[in-house]
Copies of this chain bind each other. A is one copy, B any other.
Amino acid sequence: MAVQRIISVAQGHICRVSMTIDRDIADDQRRSQLPATPAPKKRVQDRGLATKQRILDEALQQFSRSGFDAVGVRDIAEAAGVQHGLIKYHFGTKDNLWREAVRQLFQRATQILQVPPEEENLSTEEATEKALRRYVRYCADHPEHARLMVQESFRDNERLEWASRKFIRPSHDDILPRWQDLIGKGVAPNIDPVLMLYAMTGAAQTLFSIAAEAKHSHGIDALSEEVIQQYSDVIVTLFMPGLMSAHI
């Protein structure tokens, strides 16, 4: 594996660099309102878009289950019902496919986790409790999210750096001030918000990520409605212990 891995990494670097540059250029152009480079204006067809999406969905599932290196582009292609050559056609490289899948993953997460209109004028405590429960529900409904990111985080590499900068850090920057607020009100424990966030996400995600283990070890079905409900209560109780007293 050594040599191919090196090649793969090297190519990953190359791809990443060129891709990042392309994207950064694109971002810059968006910022400065300039039209992109003459734009070869490729007319994408619905058919192509559909298969591209099918590949992305399968890629997300497989990458999250087995990790980047253990998944073959052929596995993904087969699951999507296409020839593996199509992955090169639609995404260029396996690395690129991964990034596209992650981009879509976080996009969907942001939509699902955003505060709905009817919760906008709740008190901070109530809103946070709802958000906490919504997050637990998301972890249960989409265990592939935690699985994917956690696997990448076990080993430091370019993909992690990219995802962290692009998605994780921004989302945390959004959450942390609100926790700070809760601490001030005495609803959340007075603990460094960053450590608190890792404890919370770790607690909320893990049970659903490793549902197979929970099944083997205790016979519980972590993804059942009953357990999800109970576990939401667990997380709220643990991380907003002042909630009850605040309500009273």
Copies of this chain assembled into the complex:
2
Do A172 and B227 contact each other (CB < 8 Å), given the known contacts A2-B74, A70-B70, A234-B195? no
Check if B1 sits within 8 Å of A74, measured CB to CB: yes
Chain B residue nearest in CB terms to A171: B217
Q: Would you list which residues of chain A between 185 and 241 have a CB under 8 Å from chain B?
A: 189, 191-192, 194-196, 198-207, 209-218, 220, 227, 230-231, 233-235, 237-239, 241
Q: A13 contacts the other chain (Cβ, under 8 Å)?
A: no
Check if B234 sits within 8 Å of A191, measured CB to CB: yes
Q: What 1/0 mask marks residues of chain A from 43 to 82 whose CB sits below 8 Å from any chain B CB?
A: 0000000000000000000001111111110110010000
Q: A160 contacts the other chain (Cβ, under 8 Å)?
A: yes
With A and B bound together, what is the CA distance between A231 and B203 in angstroms? 14
Which B residues are in CB contact (< 8 Å) with A155? Answer: 65-66, 212
CB A171 to nearest CB in B, in angstroms, measures: 9
Q: A131 contacts the other chain (Cβ, under 8 Å)?
A: no
A-to-B contact residues, CB < 8 Å? 1-2, 64-72, 74-75, 78, 147, 149-156, 160-161, 164-165, 168-169, 172, 189, 191-192, 194-196, 198-207, 209-218, 220, 227, 230-231, 233-235, 237-239, 241
